[in-house]
Amino acid sequence: MSDIEDIEALRAEIRSFLENAEKPTGLRNYGPTPTDADVGPGRAWHKYLAEHDLVCLHWPVEYGGRDASVALQAVFADECARAGVPRQLGITAIDLAGPVLITFGTDAQKAQYLEPIRLGDDVWTQLFSEPGAGSDLAGVRTKAEKTAGGWLVNGQKVWSSAANSARYGLLLARTGPESHRGLSMFIVPMDAAGVTVRPLTQLDGESKFNEVFFDAVELTDDALIGEAGQGWTIAMVTLGRERLTLGSQAVSMFKLHEQMMQAARDRNLLDPVLSRSMTKLWSRMWLLRFTWQRAIEAGDTGSSAFSVLKLMTSETDRALGDMATEVLGTDACVDPGDDSDAAPLVHAMLVGRAQTILGGTSEIQRNILGERVLGLPK
């Protein structure tokens, strides 16, 4: 794909490529996280995109990326959502682990991990949240104790996306008593002795999230990313990058909105009341998109705009899912895994509630905005 300045010409080129692309059997737009069954077709699709220089768009050119503009990233995400295909194998490896390694990793770590990530060989998982420390990462209790040959890890993580199919994990662990300065970041081979992964079954029947247990897991010294005690700083970069992806993930909501409009027409339910509600949601989605573009162009991943974006994306996604009950009526009771036209909307209805929890709860985002931006008391 060439770098074209004209946005519509760029869009037309990407759309034509995706329409004519060879799509592997079983490929679906599974979103940022593949299930175990999605990994095979997802990896094949990722490799196809890599052959055409359409992965790691935001990475520096020296590491196989394109140092792509916001416009190119946004258009590619738009057109992937329209075509019903994922942008990449999974979000954690390319959007989170990759940038962290590029910024904080040693030359040896970059040489070992970046190219397999770019080619889609390795699935990664993010090992941050814990049963007692979800949105409050400063409360992480999983410990990594220094040994003569490296580190010894004990503890538990939860809500770890794709951990059951991941080769490596990005682990935030406690290496000292200080709240923030006592945290460090590690690379964990998920097949290491002492690592146990237990998939969690979601309301929609899928298992994208997992519990992960660490029982005397031995890591070598080169598993540490950056320096000991630098984990909080690295985690903030990781979460900042995660926020950057929100706008591109949100474009799938436009496709879902179109499906809901069509379902309402098919059922003769698109009266003035429902039409107004659908129009409000459509407007909110565009506001989210423009907010994302402004925030990413500013380049400050610590900007409060990302907390606003996370909060409003989650709330809008949930509202869109709730709208399915008004559009479907009794069809909302169908199995989300069947092949009916209602199934995608039922799936959206079921997973919509999770959007205000995963990646940082809406309550936490409101606290951040209230305390850090508006200066309100705790």
pLDDT in tens, 230-245: 999 998 877 766 666 6
**268 within a domain of the structure (yes/no):** yes
- Taking the C-alpha atoms of residue 119 and residue 260, their distance in angstroms, rounded to an integer, is 35
**114 within a domain of the structure (yes/no):** no
| 254 and 351 share one domain | yes
**240 within a domain of the structure (yes/no):** no
Instruction: Specify the amino acid at residue 125.
Output: T
204 vs 154, 158, 159, 337, CA distance in Å?
31, 18, 15, 8
Which of 242, 315, 326, 371 is catalytic? The answer is: 242
**273 within a domain of the structure (yes/no):** yes
- With contact defined as beta carbons under 8 Å apart, do 28 and 84 qualify? yes
| 199 and 279 share one domain | no
Range of the domain at 48: 7-89
Selection from 43, 61, 44, 54 nearest residue 16 by Cα: 54
**pLDDT, tens digit (0-9, with 9 covering 90-100), for 78-107:** 789 889 899 999 989 999 999 999 999 999
| 253 and 207 share one domain | no
- Of the listed ranges 33-47, 242-256, 310-324, the least confidently predicted one is 242-256
Name the domain boundary from 89, 111, 139.
89
**344 within a domain of the structure (yes/no):** yes
| 186 and 265 share one domain | no
Instruction: Specify the amino acid at residue 252.
Output: S
Strand partners, 152: 145, 218
**296 within a domain of the structure (yes/no):** yes
| 180 and 146 share one domain | yes
Q: What is the pTM of this model?
A: 0.85
- Taking the C-alpha atoms of residue 96 and residue 100, their distance in angstroms, rounded to an integer, is 6
Give the CATH number of the domain where residue 213 resides. 2.40.110.10
| 138 and 71 share one domain | no
Name the domain boundary from 66, 89, 112.
89
> What total of structural domains would you count in the chain?
3
Residue keyed to tokens 């919509």: 352
| 220 and 274 share one domain | no
| 224 and 260 share one domain | no
**pLDDT, tens digit (0-9, with 9 covering 90-100), for 8-56:** 888 899 999 999 999 999 999 888 889 999 999 999 999 999 999 999 9
Specify whether 242 is catalytic: yes
